[in-house]
Copies of this chain bind each other. A is one copy, B any other.
Amino acid sequence: MSQPSEKRAKRDKVVLAYSGGLDTSTILVWLIDQGYDVIAYTADVGQDDDFESIREKAMKCGALKYVCKDLRKDFVVDNIWPGVQANALYEDRYLLGTSLARPTITKGMIEVVKEEGAQYIAHGATGKGNDQIRMELHAMALHPDIKILAPWKMPEFYNRFEGRTALMEYAKSKNIELPTARQNPYSMDANLMHVSYESGILEDPAVPAPEDVYGMIVNPKNAPDQGEDLEIEFERGVPVKVTNKGDGTVKTDPLDIYMYLNTIGGKHGIGRIDIVENRYIGMKSRGIYECPAGTILLHAHLDIENFTLDKNVRRVKQELSLRFSEQVYEGYWYSPECDFVRHCIDKSQESVEGTVTLECYKGQVYIRSRSSKTSLYNESLVSMVVKGDFEPTDALGFIKVTGVRIKEYYRQRGVDSITHPSDALKKGSGDK
């Protein structure tokens, strides 16, 4: 299958994002057939894979080389942490587990491109999803002269391999190892932040996902009957220490913190969602996500942030976060605008520090208390009995002055100008 080495020097080099599965193995072999030298590349971003066995498959398929980079800590610090700072949620619900991993994976890939003197990258993503967009945009940013091969968008490939049968036959003819396990009836993407499931049997949004889809998080119904209390300490908007109040476990390394929160969240059934989301190009898509640590951190960060951040700074930052979430989802991590927004969000987090205590119990995170040296909370100010910087009479003035515009408006326009809820809202208003 491989080419005689003396001819190799003249062949173009491709770094292929390789998972060891049938698709990317086929692509690997097909690329060699097309005359490329292929370096198979896997980013370890925490997925549950046997990289040694992937290496063997790659070499067996004829790869010039196999490179696996452990990017787990980079993923946590470079990409997940900014997501935590932002409270990043796409369309109010999705914690962006796949989206946040793509910049890490592509950065590693471009490093391999440079180390190996390659001219091309290749990937196995199809032309309908978000990942092709993310990976290709990231690659273009990090290496503006990179050339990209996306076989599932090349007619000579996708016309040849229409349908699984053609793929299997090609694989057999090329001695590519066939998957032994029954193929999942859906597609998934896994990393240390989350597992996502879509397509196949999940495509009908009116049909509930079967319980056996889930893998990272226990069914809340099977979660322990005792909750678990955690204390999470933040600095600059990111967790720097997690303490289990029950057994005293302490974690301080970013990757350790994240993995530990995954363990706790997964055990307590925290972080499962079933949503329909809008892909970048506007098509709606149904996805199931499991994101334990991300869910816990979202709750905790929201709490410490609102405790320490000025109200109006938070409001500005909230709009930046909306933009950030979109940018990340749509593949613009490496773009001038996301770079700018990340900088601003990070700046906003300078004094977001302190400790949140919470309980994880059967699918939910319960915030219990919080403390911080930089909190803007002032008990004596807020207390109804202590008088602070202003007298009760000042509030009279405040409201009177605030009300001038409102009074004037309704005096002029009449109270009847107020919109009342559309009749539609009254639908279903039968007799009691």
Contacts and interface: CB of A to CB of B under 8 A. Distances in A.
Contacts of A181: none
A34 interface: no
Interface string A367-406: 1111100111111011110001111111111111111111
Nearest to A226: B221
B284 A313 contact: no
B206 A371 contact: yes
A44 to B, nearest CB: 14
Interface in A280-337: 281-286, 302-303, 306-307, 310-320, 322-323, 326, 332, 334-337
Contacts of A92: 87, 302, 318
A209 B254 CA distance: 30
B240 A427 contact: yes
How many copies altogether?
4
B407 A397 contact: no
The size class of the interface chain A forms with chain B is 35 or more
Contact of A307 (B153, B205, B283, B318): B205
Given A205-B370, A275-B367, A392 B319 contact: no
Contact of A401 (B272, B375, B395): B395
A136 B400 CA distance: 9
A155 interface: yes
B77 A421 contact: yes
A158 B390 CA distance: 14
Contact of A132 (B127, B227, B395): B395
A237 to B, nearest CB: 8
A220 B318 CA distance: 31
A328 B78 CA distance: 35
Given A132-B395, A199-B384, 8 more contacts: A77-B429, A81-B425, A206-B370, A274-B368, A284-B376, A285-B382, A391-B400, A398-B402
